[in-house]
Amino acid sequence: MSEETMKEDIKTEEVSKRIEGGWAPIKKEYLLSKEELEALNAEKLHEPALEVAVERDDQKERKRGQDKRREKKMVHARNDMRNASIRLCPSVLLKGRICKFGNKCTAEHSIEKFMEQKPQDIGPECPSFNQMGKCQFSFACRFGQAHTNGLEQIEKEPDPSYKPTMNTNYSAIQIAMRKHQYDFSRADKIVKELPDPITAMEREKPKLNMRDLSGKAYLAPLTTVGNLPFRRLCTRLGAQITCSEMAVATSILQGNPSEWSLLKRHPSEKVFGVQLVGGYPDSMTRAAQIITDELDVDFIDINLGCPIETINEKGGGCQLVIFLMY
């Protein structure tokens, strides 16, 4: 072994050690030499500070204005695109359903006319049809040829590997909640019996066997990032315990559809929990009750670290820890 390679080996070993210790290595080309750094600092010292500040404010103003205009333009462009392309009214696909917009409906009601004007398919195989045996997008599907025969939709047996997503059937619960007809007496009783102030309490027997969880890879809750498709990929790559994105307890209790969709679970998620955020025992217990009573969930995780202001203003996330401390 030459001296050079020996030196290289020692270096690599040192780098590996540092990585293990939690250091993040930076590529050589992104590092500044001492001289370069000094030159940069000297340059900064000679910058006319006031001028820079004015210029920056100016730029900010312009940027803000620009962003607003661009946003509006984007909305117009999206609407123009929507209006220019042919859309099939969903009422046509539901037997016996009459379009509630009547003559004012801007979508097409004739399947024949729609098919004549519809843009070409983007592929020969429809993944939904292949897996589920039918496609919810029907004639409007951009892989529609795969499951369309003239004016008819074809259905077949689902693929044997297909397992439907869990925790999706909740429209009846949402309606009951909106009508204030859901029975929350179980949650309300618990809150009523809470000692005031809340002190150490008898621990509930956990539903999960903690020993079974020991050593398993747990995918932490990740707002926006940790959505269902992402978690599906993670379970394929070895995650054994997964958690939903953070769901706001009060939005769950309002039956907010986008919040409820956060609770969906894929069958590959063998141990799955829901993370709730909120600041008050009444809404948190009610949300926990409805989730555990109606859905297939193994645990509820309470968020104690979210730094988002709108959440903290309502006593949730890291604000809850402050509540608990004082």
Ligand X SMILES: Cc1cc2nc3c(=O)[nH]c(=O)nc-3n(C[C@H](O)[C@H](O)[C@H](O)COP(=O)(O)O)c2cc1C
* Catalytic residue status for 318: no
Shortest Å distance, C-beta 103 to ligand X: 46
Distance, in Å, from the CA atom of 299 to the CA atom of 210, rounded to the nearest integer, reads: 11
Shortest Å distance, C-beta 128 to Zn ion: 5
Instruction: Tokens 């900064």: give the residue.
Output: 44
| Among 89, 219, 239, 306, contact with Zn ion (rule: CB under 5 A) | 89
Site for Zn ion in 97-116 (CB under 5 A): 99, 105, 107
Shortest Å distance, C-beta 257 to ligand X: 19
- If one asks whether residue 24 binds ligand X (CB under 6 A), the answer comes out as no
Question: What are the φ and ψ backbone dihedral angles of 6, each rounded to 5 degrees?
Answer: -60, -45
> Binds 182, which of Zn ion, ligand X, none (CB < 5 to 8 A, cut-off by type)?
none
Shortest Å distance, C-beta 225 to ligand X: 5
Site for ligand X in 104-143 (CB under 6 A): none
| CB atoms near residue 297 (< 10 Å) | 19
Site for ligand X in 217-246 (CB under 6 A): 220-223, 225, 245-246
The token pair at 135 is 């496609």
Residue length, the chain? 326
Site for Zn ion in 128-157 (CB under 5 A): 128-129, 135, 137, 141, 143
The token pair at 236 is 């394929």
Which residues neighbour 191 within 8 Å (Cβ) at sequence distance 6 or greater? 281, 282, 285
Distance, in Å, from the CA atom of 274 to the CA atom of 283, rounded to the nearest integer, reads: 15
| Among 65, 127, 164, 305, contact with ligand X (rule: CB under 6 A) | 305
Residues in contact with Zn ion, shown as a per-residue x/- string from 32 to 71 under the rule CB under 5 A? ----------------------------------------
> Binds 89, which of Zn ion, ligand X, none (CB < 5 to 8 A, cut-off by type)?
Zn ion
Distance, in Å, from the CA atom of 162 to the CA atom of 268, rounded to the nearest integer, reads: 11
State how far the alpha carbon of 321 is from the alpha carbons of 264, 278, 306, 308, in Å: 28, 11, 10, 14
Shortest Å distance, C-beta 246 to ligand X: 3
The token pair at 73 is 């333009």
Binding residues for ligand X, total number by CB under 6 A? 11
> Binds 141, which of ligand X, Zn ion, none (CB < 5 to 8 A, cut-off by type)?
Zn ion
* Closest residue by Cα to residue 257 from 179, 173, 187, 182: 173
Instruction: Tokens 């009951």: give the residue.
Output: 176
Catalytic residue selected from 126, 141, 306, 318: 306
> Binds 126, which of Zn ion, ligand X, none (CB < 5 to 8 A, cut-off by type)?
Zn ion
Site for ligand X in 266-295 (CB under 6 A): 275
User: Which amino acid is located at 52 in the chain?
Assistant: V
Q: Is 145 exposed, middle or buried (0-12, 13-18, 19+ CB in 10 A)?
A: middle
Site for ligand X in 162-221 (CB under 6 A): 220-221
Distance, in Å, from the CA atom of 191 to the CA atom of 187, rounded to the nearest integer, reads: 6
The token pair at 193 is 């019996």
Which spans of this chain sit near Zn ion (rule: CB under 5 A)? 89, 91, 99, 105, 107, 126, 128-129, 135, 137, 141, 143
Q: Which residues bind ligand X (CB under 6 A)?
A: 220-223, 225, 245-246, 275, 303, 305-306
Write out the catalytic residue numbers. 306
